[in-house]
Amino acid sequence: MSAAVERVEMEAAFILHARAYRETSQILEVFSQEHGRVGLVANGARRPKSRWRGVLRPFQPLRVSWSGRGSLYTLRAAEPSSRSFDIGGIGLMSAYYMNELLITLMERRDAHPDLFAHYGAALDALASGEEPELVLRRFEVLLLGEVGYGLIVDADVVLQQPLAADRLYDYVPDRGPVPVDAEDAGDLVFSGADLTAIGCGEFESTAQLRNAKRLLRPLLNAALGGKTLRTREVLASMMR
């Protein structure tokens, strides 16, 4: 027996990416609130008089309906649910970086409603002019946790004791924080206070924000499994 046709009605969603499909259509990578990342075929979306012209674009909150079976579904309806986020400059490239991270790290059909809410909040923060580095570090922390690479900051992995704010720890990917002495400091050595702040996404200083990037970069690389992100390279060049 073939799988039953699935129908989803007017679910909150964002378009992460769109590419041309056949002569007049598009394939959309969509982040939906209750169904996670889904692939949708938007038939006729590239026609000059398409009903979806100006609607199917990134950073536009949508309500979408789809139906079908298998790995690609057919878009049946799409309408804006609120105003599009007006983001420019480094903030815009930061938003595209978040999109590329989501496409690369999220499995299709894995629901992440908390991450969906945080993504919308991150877009709002970028549109409001908040520091992109701060927005991205918070987003990366939550994303890593959602896809199974979350930070371990509640206790060290040797003594199983809560992190001491003034003690140093060597953060070992796939294990967590290991207590070390000052003379043993390496590339991923941080104070307990910094690790706790990074894990909570609460950065009280520029130094903590830099430390967050230093810690999150290798963890993201491990999650990416050797894949490169084009937006990361562009963003790095813009921030120099």
The CATH number of the domain where 230 resides is what?
1.20.1440.120
pLDDT digits (tens, 9 = 90+) for 126-182: 999 999 999 999 999 999 999 999 999 989 999 999 999 999 999 998 899 999 987
In a domain, 159, yes or no: no
Indicate whether 47 belongs to any domain. yes
Q: What pLDDT, on the 0 to 100 scale, is given for residue 1?
A: 52
Among 45, 80, 115, residue at a domain's last position: 80
Is 115 found in the same domain as 41? no
Confidence tier at 233 by pLDDT (50, 70, 90): confident
For residues 132 and 205, membership in a common domain is answered with: yes
User: Do 120 and 14 belong together in one domain?
Assistant: no
> Which of residues 55, 80, 105 is at a domain's end?
80
Work out the average pLDDT over 194-199.
94
- Specify if 178 maps to a domain: no
Q: Please state which of the ranges 61-65, 78-82, 197-201, 236-240 shows the lowest mean pLDDT.
A: 236-240
Residue 165 lies in a domain: no
Render pLDDT for 23-45 as a digit per residue (tens, 0 to 9): 999 999 999 999 999 999 999 99
Q: Is the pLDDT of residue 57 over 60?
A: yes
Question: Structurally, how many domains does the chain consist of?
Answer: 2
- Whether 183 maps to a domain, the answer reads no
Q: What confidence score (pLDDT) does residue 2 get?
A: 61
Structure tokens at 108: 């299709």
> Which is more confident, 1 or 190?
190
Residues 10 and 71 in one domain: yes
Q: Is residue 161 a part of any domain in this protein?
A: no
pLDDT of 230 over the 90 cut? no
Same structural domain, 62 and 136: no
Q: Is residue 55 a part of any domain in this protein?
A: yes
pTM above 0.75, yes or no: yes
Range of the structural domain that residue 228 is part of: 89-151+191-239
